[in-house]
Amino acid sequence: MQGAVLTARRGHKGVERRRQAILAAARAMLNREPLAMRRLADAAGVSPATPYNLFGTKRRLFVALYEQQRAELIDRLAASDPPDAFARMFHAIHLFGAELAAEPAFFRALFATLYASDPDEPTPPGSDPGAAFWRAIVADLHKEGLIRATVSVDAFAANFVYLIGGATLDWVEGRIDVDRWETAVAYGLALSALTVATDTARADLQTRLAVLEARIAIA
């Protein structure tokens, strides 16, 4: 019995190693060229069938890459020390912008795929790791008393996701650069947050808004 358990654990570890090798190879490939599953398998050192066995479809592989990126962003955000949830949210925008600037080819390919509708593989409601990430921070705004108690966390988070999604699509399609992306997203957040902020947060938001408006005027 114990031997069977150890064998199962080794098998699980082997699957996870192959999974991580495929994700790393996919990210490296997307920074250079479009993703091709056979070349991906060669680069990851696995059989041609393994990416399909572990992920099912190319789109699901992209979803796994997105989940990995969000987990990395959460780790970087946790390693920083913003004073409150609003500062954390603005810092997350900055960190995400730095990621876009560092790996533009990867993120353009990633979001072009994720934003494309696919009737054969619709995204289940509530499964978007990006939406879950931002909703968690908005929930912290609520807990810390930075937005009014009557404000719906789900509604505020959904509107922010629409904002950042639209700006990111503009970036993917080359209509704006990363600096304009970050300014637009931060400005939209500051502007919308001021309408629901408590006195605790209002002064800092007004300062941020003034700085962002000056940046927009210069641009």
Transcribe 8-54 into DSSP letters.
Answer: HHHHHHHHHHHHHHHHHHHHHHHTTS---HHHHHHHHTS-TTHHHHH
What is Dmax (Cα atoms) for the chain? 70
Instruction: Give the pLDDT of residue 124.
Output: 55
- The yes-or-no verdict on residue 105 having pLDDT over 80 is yes
Instruction: Give the pLDDT of residue 218.
Output: 82
Over range 43-63, report the average pLDDT. 95
Give the closest residue to 78 by CA, choosing from 133, 18, 139, 25: 133
pTM: 0.88
Q: Are 2 and 17 in contact (CB under 8 A)?
A: no
Q: Are 93 and 185 in contact (CB under 8 A)?
A: yes
Q: May I ask the CATH architecture of the domain 1-56?
A: Orthogonal Bundle (1.10)
Query: Range with the lowest mean pLDDT among 118-132, 147-161, 200-214?
Result: 118-132
Over range 41-70, report the average pLDDT. 95
Over range 163-187, report the average pLDDT. 96
CATH topology classification for 63-218: Tetracycline Repressor; domain 2 (1.10.357)
Give the closest residue to 109 by CA, choosing from 150, 139, 69: 69
* Span(s) in the chain for CATH 1.10.10: 1-56
Rg over CA atoms, the chain: 20
Question: Coil, helix or strand for 219?
Answer: coil
Q: Are 15 and 55 in contact (CB under 8 A)?
A: no
Q: Are 73 and 133 in contact (CB under 8 A)?
A: yes
* Span(s) in the chain for CATH 1.10.357.10: 63-218
Q: How confident is the model at residue 13 (pLDDT cuts 50, 70, 90)?
A: confident
pLDDT tens across 134-169, in order? Answer: 999 999 999 999 999 999 999 999 999 999 999 999
